[in-house]
Amino acid sequence: MPCEKPRCRQFLRATLLAGGLAATLPCVAEGQTAASSDPPSLFGDSWRVELGANVGLRPVYPGATRYGPMAAPDITLSYRHRVTLGREGLSLNILSVPGLALGPMIGLMDGRDHKDSARLNGMGDIQPSLALGAFVRWQHGPFSIRATVRQAATHSRNGLKATLGGEWRTPIASDLTLALGPDLNFGNGRYEQTWFGVTQAQAARSGLPAYHAGGGLQDAGAHIRLTWQATPRWQFRTFAGFSQLLLDAAGSPIVQRQTMLMGGVGAGYRF
């Protein structure tokens, strides 16, 4: 059955949001060796296959006051911890250094539908875009740091976005793990203007004042996740996060609320 365009966009936004937050990661970090207690893979030692889903609530767009549902699959396919197809797209680890991963990636960048809020009337849509980029990840014991840079390819005016996040994980019971850490998002001038700027034409249509958003730090926040390992293969999780819009993003006339919250629950099965 063909997918209706607005529903496809909402599904894409939900998937990307769930993927962009480390709080929804169902098990070990990509590219890292699984714990010795992990069950053997049904597809052989070279493969890691995980299927799951997350549901929750998040703002309908960055800076919105209205919240909408999030329902997203959480799927990871990994071969020899080198090639991974997961929440952020397809990535290739080109290093063989324990605790460190680096390489190119290809995925999708989110879009925005003007029908999501009356505040966006006259602003037009932001089309989702294929994105090319790179990632680097460092892990030492319970601590990890990850950074990504992604440039919109099919809709290049959507610009470039970068993320930087950290996480600390610790067991709080034999079958419960707590993870938390900070998150930062950056955008270049094109990205920030697309998402938070208002051109003269958009101002004439929407009634909002014209506004130029420059590049730089977009928001800062944190996430927390509690994971219950119910069986060697099944796990369940609850997660939450917040972010605070900053600098030019915070001053945009489309922004109704600078502090954004999100949260939900999820489940995953490891093959």
Average pLDDT over residues 213-226: 98
Please give the angle made by the CA atoms of 95, 98 and 103, to the nearest 5 degrees.
Answer: 25
Enumerate residues 6+ apart whose C-beta is below 8 A from 96: none
Residues in the chain: 271
* Partner residues linked to 131 by β-bridges: 107, 152
133-153: buried (b, 16+ CB within 10 Å) or exposed (e) per residue? bbbebbbeeeebebbbbbbbe
Q: Tell me, what's the pLDDT at 13?
A: 43
Record the pTM. Answer: 0.82
Give dist(CA 123, CA 201) in Å, integer: 9
List the one residue out of 80, 21, 24 whose CA is nearest residue 53.
Answer: 24
Enumerate residues 6+ apart whose C-beta is below 8 A from 156: 129, 190
Average pLDDT over residues 192-197: 98
3-class secondary-structure state, position 158: helix
Average pLDDT, rounded, for the chain: 87
**How do residues 10-25 score in pLDDT, each as one tens digit?**
434 443 343 444 333 3
Q: Would you place residue 8 in the very low, low, confident or very high pLDDT band (cuts 50, 70, 90)?
A: very low
Is-contact 249 218, C-beta < 8 A?
yes
Q: Tell me, what's the pLDDT at 53?
A: 94
**How do residues 31-69 score in pLDDT, each as one tens digit?**
333 343 567 777 778 899 999 999 999 999 999 999 999
